[in-house]
C-alpha cells in the first residue's frame, strides 16, 4: 500500500501536476463501470458496481455469481436497524470480491405511487423510515473504509415514465420534508455516503445533474457534503452547467457531454467559472481515489486496477443470516383462521398443494439495475419439500400451475436449450460477432451465454461497442421440447433482429417501429410466432441481430449508449393446458393444504417503465377466487403474494391467510419455507401503505399528477404521501403503513416518558412482553402529532426487539427527537410551540396516546 506521506498521494499536489487534458479525463468514466486512471501520476481506477440487491460486478446479465440479496423494500419491511447494518456489511464483502470500491446503492427515492416501476428498489414511502434504515445500511457498508456507498437517485426519481426528461414540479415544503429528507438524514449522519448519484429527471425545471440550487446550494453548501457526486448512467445533460453545479463525474464513459466538448469549452473560455469548477470536481475525484488507496501507485499497479478479478465469497454463516433476514421481512397480512404456521404435527402424513405461477419458479428480485446472477436460487415448492424432508416429515407435495402471468414469453431454460446439438454443452447460446451490420466478413469475437436475455450494453466486444460503430451478432442454440404441441417463440430487440428454426425464417423483427419496454424501454415490442414441435426432437435455433443506425439515434445524447447495442431477448413457451384453474381446484380438493403463490415478476416491476395497473396480471385473481369459493376446505387456502409493490386483492376479505413475501433474492424459497413451517416467525411490517383499489387514489384520474402531461408531473399532494394521504382524506387502505402480524402476541407497556433538557426530545421507555406461544420479534412504532390535528400523525421513532421467547420481555427505549418533529416553514426547519401527543402504534391507522407534551416557551428554529 502506498505510504500516507507520499507526495503523490497529496490531492493538491497532484492537481498542480495534471494537464488540462488529464483533468478533463478524470471527470468522465473510462468505460461502463470504471473511472479514468492516469499512469504517469499513479492515479488508479475506481470501480463501481450495481447495486441495490447485491454487488453484481461489471456485467448486467450472465456475469459472475453474486449473493442475491432481498429487494430493498423487503429489507425495509424488517424495520430492523441491526439487520440493515448487517446487510451493508455483507455488501461490503461482496463488493470487494468484485474488485469494486463503490457500490451504487442504496436507492432512497420515495415510494410515491404504487405503480412506480422501481418501488421494489426503494425502502419506503416514509422519509424517516427510509433515512433511518439508510444510515445503518451505509454504516455497515463503509465500516471498513474499503467500499463507499452511493445514495441515489438525488432527487425525486419516483417514476420511470419519461424518466430521462420528466420535470417534477414540487413545492419547497414537500421537497424538503418528503423527498430530500432521507438524503439529508444520511448526509448529516456520523457516516455520510462517499458518493451521491443525481437523478435523470428535472426538478422544478432543471435537470438534476445541473441543478445548482439543489446540488451545490442544498447538498454541498447547506448540508456540507464533501463527497463525490456522479450522474446516473447517461444522465449528464450539459457540458458546462453540470460541472459548475458540482456534478463531478459523468457516467458511463467515455464521456459524451464532457471529454472533447469540455476540453473545447475550457480552451475557448466559454465560462469564467468553469476552470475553478473543473478543479473542484477533480479534487473530489482524486479524494475518492485517495480514500480507496488508489493514489501513488506504480504504472503496473494502475494497469492492474483496470483488470480486477470478480468472484463471490460468502460464508455458510452469511447465508444462514441472510435466510433469517429474508424470513423476518415477510409480512403476515392476515391469519384469521390460525392456519399458519404449518407445524410438524399438523403436516405429518398430509398432502400439500403448491399452485400459482410463482410457486415452482419464484422471482428473486425486480428488473433493471437490481438484476443479478445469483450464487444459487431457492424456489417455494422445492424449498418446502427439502425443508420438510430435513424435519423428517412424511408430506406429499404436489404442483399445478393454475394461472399464467408472464408479461413476455419466459426466458429459455438450460434444460431444453444448448449451444451444442448433443445437449451436453455447458452454455445455452453461442454468440458470433461481426464488425458490420450485415453479418459479413470474419468473426471478430465469439462468446457463450447462459441467459436468453442477451444484453450487450456492457458485454459485447469493446472494439464494437464504441460510439457509432454498427455491428451484428449471430446467436446459435439447439432446442429440445419436453412435450409435443404448438409452442411459441419470441424475440424483442434493441437492434433489428430475426429468428430462424432449422434454417427457415420464423420471426422477422427488422425495421421495427413500435417501442416496447425490454432493455430499459429501448427495445421493440415482443414479436412472437407459434409452430408445431415434437417432444425430444432437436431444433436448430439461430437469432440474428444488428445495430440500428437510423437517424433516430441521437449520438449527442448520453443514453444512446444503450440504444446503439443490438441486444436481444429470446422467449419460449410450450403449449399450456387448456384449463389450468380447474386443474388447480381438483388438486386443492385432493390435498389438506394449498399454498397459492401469486404476484408479479421482474418483467412487471423493473427499471425503465412503470406498471399500468395495480391488478394482478393474467388469470391469477380468477385462480384465487375459484379456490376460495369452490375448494372443499377454504380455510386451508394460504395465499402468498410475491411483489415489490401493492397489488389489488379483490378477494382479500374472503381469504383467511395472506402472506406478503416480496422479492427475497436467492433465499426467497428457503425463507418462505421457514415462515410457512414456523421455523421463523414473520416479523415484517409494511413500509408502505397498501391501497384497496388504485381507483381510490388521487392519481387514478389526474394525468398531470401521474404520470404527467407535457413533460411535467405535478406533485400536487404536497406532503400528503402514503399514509399521510389516507389520514388526511379519511380513507382506509387495505392495510396501513406499519401493519404486520406474527405467530405470537405482544403487550407493550409504558414504563416512563423522559423529557431531555435543552430541547432535545423525549425518551419513551417501554416493556415488550411476549404473551403468546411462539418466539417472535416486535416493532415499536412511535408517532407524534399536534393535539389539535390528529390527521397529522407522522412516524417519529421506531425500534425492533430481539427474538423473545414466550413469557419473556425486553425493555426498549425509543428516542423522539424534536428536530425530527420540525417542519419546513419559510425557509427553515421549525418546531412551533404548542402541545403535542406521542403515541404507540400497531400501524399508522391505530395509534394510542402515551404522552402529551408541552413544547414551550417558544418556537425553535434549526435553520438548514
Report, as residue numbers or ranges, the catalytic residues: 232
Is the separation of the CB atoms in 322 and 651 below 8 Å? no
Is the separation of the CB atoms in 133 and 81 below 8 Å? yes
In angstroms, how far is CA 746 from the centroid of its own chain?
32
Structure-block grid coordinates of residue 313: 465469497
CA distance 726 to 735: 11
Q: Tell whether the torsion through CA atoms of 70, 75, 77 and 80 is positive or negative.
A: positive
Q: Tell whether the torsion through CA atoms of 719, 720, 722 and 724 is positive or negative.
A: positive
Among residues 523, 521, 517, the alpha carbon closest in space to that of 548 is found at 523
Is the separation of the CB atoms in 375 and 68 below 8 Å? yes
CA distance 763 to 623: 49
Bridge partner residues of 746 (DSSP): 770
Question: What is the three-state SS of 48-98?
Answer: EEECCCCCCECCCCCCCCECCCCCHHHHHHCCCHHHHHHHHHHHHHHHHHC
DSSP string, 798-811: EEE---B-TT-EEE
DSSP string, 110-140: ---STT-TTGGGS--S-HHHHHHHHHHHHHH
Burial of 80-102, coded b for 16+ CB within 10 Å and e otherwise, reads bbebbbbbbbbbbbbbbbbbbbb
Structure-block grid coordinates of residue 564: 446503439
- Which contiguous run of DSSP H or E holds residue 598? strand 593-599
CA distance 542 to 557: 32
CA distance 446 to 441: 14
In angstroms, how far is CA 107 from the centroid of its own chain?
7
CA distance 761 to 763: 7
Specify the 3-state DSSP secondary structure of 447.
strand
How many C-beta atoms lie closer than 10 Å to residue 755's C-beta?
12
| Pairing mode of beta strands 637-642, 593-599 | parallel
736 sits in the region (left: phi over 0; alpha: psi -120 to 50; else beta) called beta
Residue 365: DSSP 8-state:
S
- Which contiguous run of DSSP H or E holds residue 322? helix 316-328
Burial of 470-497, coded b for 16+ CB within 10 Å and e otherwise, reads bbbbbbbbbbbbeeeeebbbbbbbbbbb
Is the separation of the CB atoms in 326 and 665 below 8 Å? yes
What radius of gyration do the chain's Cα atoms show?
27
Specify the 3-state DSSP secondary structure of 274.
helix
Is the separation of the CB atoms in 783 and 128 below 8 Å? no
Residues 254/260/261/262 CA torsion (nearest 10 deg)? 90
CA distance 605 to 600: 7
Amino acid at each position: 500500500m502506498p505510504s500516507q506521506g507520499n507526495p503523490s498521494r497529496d490531492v493538491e499536489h497532484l492537481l498542480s501536476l495534471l494537464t488540462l487534458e488529464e483533468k478533463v479525463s478524470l471527470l468522465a468514466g473510462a468505460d461502463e463501470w470504471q473511472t479514468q486512471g492516469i499512469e504517469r501520476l499513479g492515479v488508479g481506477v475506481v470501480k463501481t458496481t450495481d447495486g441495490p440487491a447485491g454487488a453484481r460486478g461489471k456485467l448486467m446479465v450472465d456475469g459472475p455469481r453474486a449473493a442475491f440479496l432481498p429487494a430493498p423494500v423487503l429489507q425495509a419491511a424488517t424495520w430492523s436497524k441491526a439487520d440493515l447494518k448487517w446487510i451493508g456489511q455483507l455488501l461490503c464483502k461482496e463488493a470487494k470480491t468484485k474488485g469494486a470500491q463503490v457500490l451504487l446503492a442504496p436507492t432512497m427515492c420515495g415510494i410515491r405511487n404504487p405503480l412506480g416501476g422501481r418501488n421494489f428498489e426503494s425502502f419506503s414511502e416514509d422519509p424517516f423510515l427510509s433515512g433511518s434504515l439508510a444510515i445503518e445500511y451505509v454504516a455497515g457498508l463503509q465500516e471498513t473504509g474499503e467500499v463507499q456507498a452511493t445514495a441515489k437517485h438525488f432527487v425525486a426519481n419516483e417514476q420511470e415514465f419519461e424518466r430521462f426528461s420528466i420535470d417534477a414540479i414540487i413545492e419547497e415544503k414537500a421537497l424538503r420534508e418528503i423527498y430530500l429528507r432521507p438524503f439529508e438524514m444520511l448526509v448529516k449522519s456520523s457516516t455520510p455516503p462517499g458518493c451521491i448519484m443525481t437523478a435523470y429527471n428535472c426538478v422544478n425545471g432543471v435537470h438534476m445533474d445541473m441543478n445548482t440550487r439543489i446540488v451545490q446550494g442544498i447538498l454541498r453548501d447547506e448540508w456540507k457534503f464533501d463527497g463525490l457526486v456522479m450522474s446516473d448512467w447517461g444522465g449528464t445533460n450539459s457540458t458546462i452547467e453540470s460541472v459548475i453545479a458540482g456534478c463531478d463525474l459523468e457516467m458511463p464513459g467515455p464521456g459524451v457531454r464532457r471529454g472533447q466538448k469540455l476540453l473545447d469549452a475550457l480552451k475557448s473560455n466559454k465560462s469564467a467559472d468553469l476552470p475553478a469548477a473543473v478543479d473542484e470536481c477533480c479534487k473530489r475525484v482524486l479524494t475518492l481515489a485517495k480514500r480507496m488507496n488508489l493514489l501513488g501507485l506504480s504504472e503496473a499497479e494502475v494497469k492492474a486496477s483496470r483488470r480486477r478479478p470478480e468472484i463471490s465469497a460468502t460464508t455458510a454463516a452469511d447465508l444462514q443470516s441472510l435466510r433469517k433476514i429474508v424470513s423476518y421481512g415477510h409480512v403476515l397480512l392476515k391469519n384469521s383462521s390460525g392456519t399458519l404456521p404449518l407445524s410438524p404435527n399438523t403436516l405429518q402424513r398430509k398432502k400439500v398443494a403448491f399452485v400459482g405461477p410463482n410457486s415452482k419458479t419464484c422471482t428473486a428480485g425486480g428488473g433493471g439495475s437490481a438484476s443479478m446472477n445469483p450464487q444459487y436460487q431457492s424456489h417455494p415448492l422445492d424449498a418446502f419439500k427439502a425443508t420438510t424432508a430435513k424435519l423428517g416429515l412424511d408430506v406429499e407435495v404436489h404442483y399445478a400451475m393454475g394461472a399464467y402471468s408472464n408479461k413476455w414469453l419466459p426466458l429459455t431454460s438450460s434444460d431444453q436449450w444448448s449451444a451444442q446439438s448433443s445437449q451436453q454443452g455447458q452454455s445455452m447460446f453461442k454468440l458470433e460477432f461481426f464488425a458490420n451490420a450485415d453479418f459479413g466478413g470474419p468473426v471478430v469475437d465469439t462468446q457463450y451465454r447462459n441467459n436468453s436475455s442477451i444484453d450487450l450494453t456492457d458485454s459485447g466486444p469493446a472494439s464494437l461497442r464504441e460510439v457509432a460503430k454498427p455491428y451484428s451478432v449471430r446467436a446459435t442454440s439447439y432446442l429440445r421440447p419436453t412435450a409435443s404441441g404448438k409452442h411459441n417463440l419470441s424475440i424483442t430487440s434493441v437492434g433489428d433482429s430475426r429468428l430462424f428454426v432449422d434454417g427457415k425464417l420464423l420471426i422477422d423483427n427488422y425495421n421495427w417501429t413500435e417501442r416496447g419496454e425490454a432493455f430499459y424501454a429501448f427495445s421493440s415490442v415482443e414479436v412472437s410466432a407459434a409452430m408445431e414441435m415434437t417432444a425430444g426432437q432437436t431444433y436448430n435455433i439461430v437469432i440474428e441481430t444488428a445495430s440500428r443506425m437510423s437517424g433516430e439515434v441521437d449520438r449527442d445524447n448520453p443514453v444512446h449508449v444503450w440504444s446503439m447495442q443490438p441486444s436481444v431477448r429470446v422467449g419460449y413457451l410450450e403449449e399450456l393446458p387448456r384449463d389450468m384453474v380447474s386443474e388447480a381446484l381438483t388438486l386443492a380438493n385432493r390435498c389438506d393444504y394449498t399454498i397459492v403463490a401469486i404476484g408479479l415478476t421482474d418483467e412487471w416491476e423493473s427499471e425503465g417503465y412503470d406498471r399500468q395497473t395495480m391488478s394482478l396480471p393474467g388469470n391469477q385473481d380468477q385462480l384465487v377466487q375459484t379456490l376460495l369459493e369452490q375448494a372443499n376446505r377454504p380455510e386451508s387456502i394460504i395465499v402468498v403474494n410475491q411483489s415489490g409493490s401493492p397489488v389489488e386483492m379483490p378477494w382479500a376479505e374472503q381469504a383467511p391467510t395472506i402472506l406478503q413475501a416480496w422479492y427475497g433474492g436467492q433465499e426467497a424459497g428457503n425463507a418462505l419455507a421457514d415462515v410457512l413451517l414456523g421455523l421463523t416467525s414473520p416479523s415484517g411490517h409494511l413500509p408502505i401503505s397498501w391501497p384497496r383499489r388504485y381507483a381510490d387514489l388521487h392519481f387514478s384520474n389526474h394525468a398531470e399528477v401521474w404520470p404527467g402531461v407535457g413533460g411535467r408531473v405535478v406533485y400536487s399532494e404536497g406532503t400528503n404521501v402514503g399514509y399521510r394521504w389516507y389520514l388526511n382524506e379519511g380513507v382506509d387502505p387495505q392495510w396501513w403503513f406499519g401493519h404486520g402480524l406474527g405467530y405470537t402476541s405482544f403487550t407493550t407497556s409504558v414504563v416512563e416518558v423522559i423529557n431531555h433538557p435543552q430541547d432535545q426530545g423525549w425518551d419513551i421507555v417501554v416493556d415488550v412482553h411476549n404473551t403468546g406461544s411462539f418466539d417472535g420479534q416486535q416493532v415499536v412504532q412511535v408517532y407524534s402529532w399536534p393535539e389539535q390535528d390528529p390527521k397529522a400523525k407522522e412516524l417519529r421513532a421506531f425500534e425492533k426487539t430481539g427474538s423473545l421467547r414466550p413469557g419473556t420481555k425486553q425493555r426498549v427505549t425509543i428516542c423522539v427527537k424534536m428536530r425530527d418533529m420540525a417542519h419546513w416553514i419559510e425557509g427553515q426547519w421549525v418546531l412551533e410551540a404548542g402541545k403535542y401527543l406521542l403515541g404507540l402504534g400497531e400501524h399508522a391507522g391505530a395509534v394510542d396516546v402515551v404522552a402529551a407534551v408541552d413544547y414551550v416557551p417558544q418556537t425553535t428554529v434549526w435553520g438548514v
